[in-house]
A and B are shown apart, each in its own frame.
Chain A
Amino acid sequence: MSSINRESITLVTGVIGADTHIVGNRILSMGLEEAGFKVVTLGALTPAAEFVKAAIETAADGIMVSSLYGQGELDCRGFRDLCIEAGLDGILLYIGGSLVVGKQEWSEVEGRFLGMGFDRAFANATRVEDVVEALDKDFAARKKSG
């Protein structure tokens, strides 16, 4: 499977908006590093524009956004456009956490975020191994397509 070289891939991680829930994002960052990726951690309370800025500065291949406090839907609107405007056309975008207010059907929530331009959306309590597997698959597919 590992036709991709994880050491050559840089990922930006952080918690978007006015959200201080850092635990899951930190566990993800640790896990990604352990798996061999280069990880740039922005931590809690990170505005959308800061993700994009960090991605440009580090020539990142992907941005991993976390949101736990329910307002992610507001915070993430226009995120893909921000990336495109900054010249990050093909950058891989993942989102994960408790993405909306209250209990809602996951398939609908996922659809909403994919519609916003995220390549994948993950429900709360997704394990790091599953994210690494998805990253391998997505970067391998990109490599193949050129």
Chain B
Amino acid sequence: MNLNSDDTPISAAAIPADDFALMRTENLARWPTGADVDLDEAVEFHKSLPQEKQLGWVMRRAAEEGRCLTQPRGGFGTLELQLELMRALDQDGMADIVPTTTDSYTRNEQWEQAATGIEESKRQGRSMLNGFPMVNYGPKEARKLIEAINKPAIVLSGTAMPRLTCEVGFAAGFSGYLGSGIAYTTSYTKDTSIAEGIRNYQYLDRLAALYQEKGVELHRRQPGFLTGTNVPPCIAIAVGVLDALLAAGQGVKNYGLELAQTLHLIQDAAAIKVCGELAQEYLLAAGFEDMFTPVTSLHWMGAWPQDDAQSAALVSYGGTLAAVGGAVSVTTKSTHEAYGIPTPAANAEGLRTTRMAVYLARHIRLDDLPEFKAEVDLLRRETRPIIDKALEMGDGDAALGAVRALEAGALDIPWSPSRFVKSRVMPARDADGYLRIYDPGDMVFASDVAEIHTERLKKRAEVEGVAFDRNLAVKSVYEISEPLDKLLPFPWAAE
């Protein structure tokens, strides 16, 4: 019996317990460390952890207390380097949540190549992998990472194939896991069908639910940044809500939603508010009454400037945006972002810069500001029809609806590498700094909503004295990475 077959009909229904047991056996046999996964032992270990090292509890508590927690990204190729990194992020960076990013071989389930990468890293004395090879080390070794820190830990693994990595991660004692079927499949693959990606994440969600049944509440999280390039909030939220419905279908109770910052204070605050609101609205309508859905705000996910000073401004402002918007946590970057993977010291500095910004903004809210209210209203009117259309196309089933809506372009992701996504929608920044939609592709918006987008972007073209065309979208991709003398030169400089 092949339970992974692509011709199994896709649905949002929970995987039956017997089927899941078979799937797990098959999955764990794919690499030797799979044999070290002992669910009952892992459940006992999670229960033995103090509450402040359990991300499910920590996220709930932070939401209750109105806090904005900080979390970086980070992973290196050997256990020794990863231990050092996680200690530095925990202690020097004061991270509230400590990450382990996996390397690209692990994400692509190329464990033999990851093994070579570990050896090379040991030989060279530096990381030759862009993350931690979780599966190769296995749950026993990886548990040393959990024991080395005093905070909860989360696995970050950008892939459409999380099945074995999640088994190892949870068994090691990681209490958080980022990733989802729609978001990651549309953003990290070219030839993987959306249905296959959804199935792989239904496995992960079903596993998290199994821990829940045994009394351990893990934190699952949806990677709302998608392609990381000017994703309009309405699209991020629509995908987030559909992914949340899929997770709820498997029995997940603690599910975070991420939103990448647009870098517009009002738009980002509105997005955080509407995201939490609509998630609950659609979950309730589908009969899921007790899913906790905190929102996480992500530092700028597009191209970064080369200049450290400019990057520092993005890091700091990113803390402000998260705190003012009322996000429960913020995922940070550092001044090294334009060059790739940061050193532990630079990563820790990004955390502290963000933390100070969160502190400074902790009392500020925009709720009564007319422009904020208008943006919230607009965003609701943009987003609901996208979700409604997808659910309608799936005859009420979120999995089927997502597949069909993406295929038809009724749900579209800008700049997606996947051939199962139309990727015709084109966002651009308007004259006031809001991210708007220049070309909706095959997505359908109410005419008054579409008119607002067009009018604002035409205003920008007019102000800049350029044509109202596709170049508005292209320029918006590069804008934030441009040097200061281009973005904001001394206006009265002598020729």
Instruction: Give A residues with C-beta under 8 Å from B.
Output: 15, 18, 20, 22-23, 26-27, 30-31, 43-45, 69-70, 98, 101-103, 125
Distance of A114 Cα from B416 Cα, bound (Å): 30
Residues from chain B with Cβ under 8 Å of A26 in the complex = 415
B189 touches which of A15, A20, A103 (Cβ 8 Å) = A20
User: Which DSSP category, helix, strand, loop or mixed, fits chain B's interface?
Assistant: loop
Residue of B nearest to A98 (CB): B340
Taking residues whose C-beta sits less than 8 angstroms from the other chain, chain B's interface range is 20 to 34
How many residue-residue contacts, CB under 8 A, span A and B? 43
Distance of A23 Cα from B414 Cα, bound (Å): 9
A44 touches which of B130, B190, B303, B474 (Cβ 8 Å) = B190
Q: A22-B416, A125-B478 are in contact. Are A70 and B190 (CB under 8 A)?
A: no
Quick check: is B372 within 8 A (CB to CB) of the other chain?
Answer: no
A43 touches which of B190, B229, B339 (Cβ 8 Å) = B190
Q: A18-B108, A30-B470, A102-B339 are in contact. Are A23 and B189 (CB under 8 A)?
A: no
Distance of A15 Cα from B303 Cα, bound (Å): 17
User: Which DSSP category, helix, strand, loop or mixed, fits chain A's interface?
Assistant: loop
Residues from chain A with Cβ under 8 Å of B288 in the complex = none
Q: A18-B104, A30-B470, A101-B340 are in contact. Are A44 and B478 (CB under 8 A)?
A: no
Q: Are the C-beta atoms of A20 and B477 separated by less than 8 Å?
A: no
Distance of A6 Cα from B187 Cα, bound (Å): 33
Quick check: is B417 within 8 A (CB to CB) of the other chain?
Answer: yes
Q: Are the C-beta atoms of A23 and B190 separated by less than 8 Å?
A: no
Q: In this complex, which of A23, A27, A30, A44 has the most chain B Cβ atoms within 10 angstroms of its Cβ?
A: A23
B339 → chain A closest CB, angstroms = 5
Distance of A44 Cα from B423 Cα, bound (Å): 13
Instruction: Give B residues with C-beta under 8 Å from A.
Output: 104, 108, 130, 187-191, 227, 229, 303, 339-340, 415-417, 419, 470, 474, 477-478, 481
23 contacts between A and B (CB under 8 A): A15-B417, A18-B108, A20-B187, A20-B188, A20-B189, A20-B190, A22-B417, A23-B229, A23-B477, A30-B470, A30-B474, A43-B419, A44-B417, A45-B189, A45-B190, A45-B191, A69-B104, A70-B130, A70-B340, A98-B340, A101-B340, A125-B478, A125-B481
Distance of A56 Cα from B481 Cα, bound (Å): 37
A64 → chain B closest CB, angstroms = 17
Distance of A20 Cα from B226 Cα, bound (Å): 12
Q: A45-B417, A102-B339 are in contact. Are A125 and B303 (CB under 8 A)?
A: yes
Residue of B nearest to A17 (CB): B104
Q: Are the C-beta atoms of B340 and A102 separated by less than 8 Å?
A: yes
Residue of B nearest to A127 (CB): B478
Q: Are the C-beta atoms of B340 and A22 separated by less than 8 Å?
A: no
Residues from chain A with Cβ under 8 Å of B190 in the complex = 20, 43-45
Apart from A18-B104, A45-B190, 9 more pairs, CB < 8 Å: A22-B415, A27-B474, A27-B477, A43-B417, A44-B417, A45-B417, A69-B104, A69-B130, A102-B339
